[in-house]
């Protein structure tokens, strides 16, 4: 009698593992989609950039212009 390499138990475990893989991929997809939707709904990026210790020329120029206006009589 030949050894049954593929037992019903193995099929069941394989089904479970594939199912778990699909669930994990779906989870990554859901979180990625949520991130995209959240980020694209933030609106004008200038409203929240330059607060991560990175220079932002656009904001700095605006600040300079404001200073100039205040100094100019």
Partner 1 sequence: MRAPGAATARGASEDVRMQEASLDESAAVPVEAGLGDYFALLKPRVMSLVVFTALVGMLAAPVPVHPYIAFVATLCIAVGAGASGALNMWWDSDIDTKMRRTRSRPIPQGRVRPEEALGLGLALSGFAVVLLWLATNLLSAALLAFTIFFYSVIYSMILKRRTPQNIVIGGAAGAFPPMIGWAVATGGVSLESVLLFALVFMWTPPHFWALALFVKTDYGDAGVPMLTETHGRPATRVQVFAYTLPLVAVSLGIAFTSLGGWLYLAVALALDVWFLAGAWAIFRRSEAQAEADSYATEKRVFMVSLWYLFGHFGAILAQSVLTQWGLAQWGGF
Binding flag, residue 19, partner 1 (CB under 8 A): yes
Calculate the CA dihedral of residues 20, 33, 49, 52 and round it to 10 degrees.
0
Contact 24, 18 (CB under 8 A): no
Binding flag, residue 61, partner 1 (CB under 8 A): no
Binding flag, residue 29, partner 1 (CB under 8 A): no
Binding flag, residue 24, partner 1 (CB under 8 A): no
Tell me the C-alpha distance between 11 and 56, whole Å.
57
Q: Which residues sit at the interface with partner 1, rule CB under 8 A?
A: 1, 3-4, 7-9, 12-13, 15-16, 19-20, 30-31, 33-34, 37, 41
């Amino acid at each position: 009698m030949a050894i049954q390499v593929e037992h019903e138990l193995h099929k069941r475990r394989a089904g479970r593992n594939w199912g778990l893989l699909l669930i994990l991929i779906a989870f990554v997809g859901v979180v990625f989609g949520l991130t995209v939707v959240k980020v694209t709904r933030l609106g004008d990026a200038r409203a929240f950039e330059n607060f991560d210790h990175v220079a932002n020329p656009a904001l700095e120029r605006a600040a300079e212009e404001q200073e100039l206006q205040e100094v100019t009589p």
